[in-house]
């Protein structure tokens, strides 16, 4: 049975490591410095970086992470990206052929806003980087909402709480997204703030101090390429209206961030915890200038989405992380059964071992069953130990 427990623990460790890939965020307050082949710093982010992740810099240079040493991510240069074709794609017939994931139609002007990490805050203004249930990020969402409404758009700003800030936050916010989908929005934005030194996001546009924004694209799942094209379209138009507002795009190969639920879903990082919130509010208000341009050209609907059937509707189902959990649990069960069969030599003996494991070993692991209710009453000093 010790071997069986060893196999189970090993599979559970694989499960935990895999889940870290799906969440794709650091929780230790640190950040990664991404350097090129010559050791020059080309990007900084608080997101958890994995080998194979890619990023687009503010000046539209694309890199891919090839190795990681501590907090340094070594990257190779992939090339310069020409975003001009994304800025006015409806005028470019070749763009429509090469990028069918972006379709052009009249939109209704509805936008949904929510916050997966509802505790995120800004230290200089809020006093701390995390406030459970009342993060400063809500006020940044309010600034975005007000700016969009000022442009005649109908905005649904959800203040649903998804605390704590753990690996399952995106599963909890997924329920919020399915509720927002009932409003049939043309676009959905999940507003966050990053973790990095203040100068990484600090900017000045039209004489006003602002924080820059980072777009995050989850490449895991059927809509990864579509969301990537959407992010490039957003940056192209932002570069035209407010050059320097978007500091870059992070392409996470192991994340989906509920972007499989809607073809115009985007995760925004508005500044860092080291920036003041007022600058973040001004930055996101400038970003609102870009949205009418985007929505005037695209209509998010299931008919123009790629990938699995039903993408863009609340019937899409579990996220990529949830599906991965299902597969891992399935492999765990199959692995245990296979181990028992190989170790016993027959299915009959394997069943016996499994029965012994569930009735004896597993019961002992949870604690001996009491024969009397009195046995379940523990002294106060034992309860305190628990």
Tens digits of residue pLDDT in 92-148: 444 444 444 444 445 679 999 999 999 999 999 999 999 998 999 999 999 999 999
User: Region 169-191: what's the mean pLDDT?
Assistant: 96
Q: DSSP character for 361?
A: I
- How far apart are alpha carbons 45 and 31 in whole angstroms? 6
- Reading the block at residue 274, the tokens are 């080291």
Going from the N-terminus, what domains does the chain have, and what CATH number goes with each?
A: 100-317 (3.40.630.40)
Q: What is the pLDDT of residues 264-293, one digit of tens each?
A: 999 999 999 999 999 999 999 999 999 999
Query: What pTM, to 2 d.p., does this model score?
Result: 0.73
Give one word for 152, left, alpha or beta, with left for phi > 0 and alpha for psi -120 to 50: left
Q: What is the pLDDT of residue 3?
A: 53
Q: What mean pLDDT do residues 328-342 have? A: 52
Residues in the chain: 386
What are the CA-CA distances from residue 26 to residues 32, 71, 135, 209, 259 (Å)? Answer: 9, 11, 18, 27, 20
């Amino acid at each position: 049975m010790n071997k069986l427990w060893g196999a189970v623990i090993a599979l559970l460790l694989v499960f935990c490591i895999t889940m870290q890939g799906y969440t794709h965020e650091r929780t230790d307050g640190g950040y990664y410095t991404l350097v090129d082949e010559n050791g020059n710093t080309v990007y900084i982010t608080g997101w958890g970086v994995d080998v194979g992740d890619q990023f687009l810099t503010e000046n539209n240079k694309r890199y891919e992470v090839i190795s990681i040493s501590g907090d340094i991510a070594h990257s190779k240069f992939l090339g310069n990206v020409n975003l001009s074709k994304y800025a006015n794609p409806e005028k470019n017939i070749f763009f429509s052929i090469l990028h069918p994931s972006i379709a052009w139609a009249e939109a209704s002007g509805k936008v949904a806003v929510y916050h997966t990490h509802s505790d995120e805050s800004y230290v200089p203004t809020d006093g701390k980087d995390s406030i459970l249930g009342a993060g400063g990020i809500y006020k940044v969402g309010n600034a975005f909402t007000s700016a969009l409404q000022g442009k005649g758009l109908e905005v649904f700003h959800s203040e649903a709480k998804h605390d704590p800030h753990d690996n399952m936050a995106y599963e909890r916010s997924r329920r919020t997204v399915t509720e927002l989908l009932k409003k049939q929005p043309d676009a959905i934005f999940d507003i966050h703030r990053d973790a990095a030194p203040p100068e990484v996001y600090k900017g000045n546009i039209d004489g006003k101090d602002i924080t820059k924004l980072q777009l995050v694209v989850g490449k895991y799942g059927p809509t990864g390429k579509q969301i990537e094209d959407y992010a490039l379209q957003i940056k192209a138009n932002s570069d035209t209206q407010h050059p320097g507002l978007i500091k870059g795009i992070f392409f996470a190969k192991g994340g989906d961030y509920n972007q499989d639920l809607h073809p115009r879903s985007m995760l925004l990082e508005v500044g860092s915890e080291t920036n003041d919130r007022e600058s973040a509010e001004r930055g996101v208000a400038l970003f609102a200038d870009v949205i009418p341009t985007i929505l005037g050209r695209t209509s998010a609907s299931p008919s123009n989405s790629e990938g699995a059937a039903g993408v863009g509707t609340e019937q899409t189902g579990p996220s990529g992380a949830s599906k991965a959990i299902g597969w891992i649990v399935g492999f765990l069960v199959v692995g245990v059964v296979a181990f028992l069969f190989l170790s016993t030599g027959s299915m009959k003996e394997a069943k016996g071992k499994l029965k012994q494991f569930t009735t004896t070993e597993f019961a002992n692991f949870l604690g001996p069953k009491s024969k009397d209710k009195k046995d379940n009453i523990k002294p106060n000093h034992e309860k305190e130990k628990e």
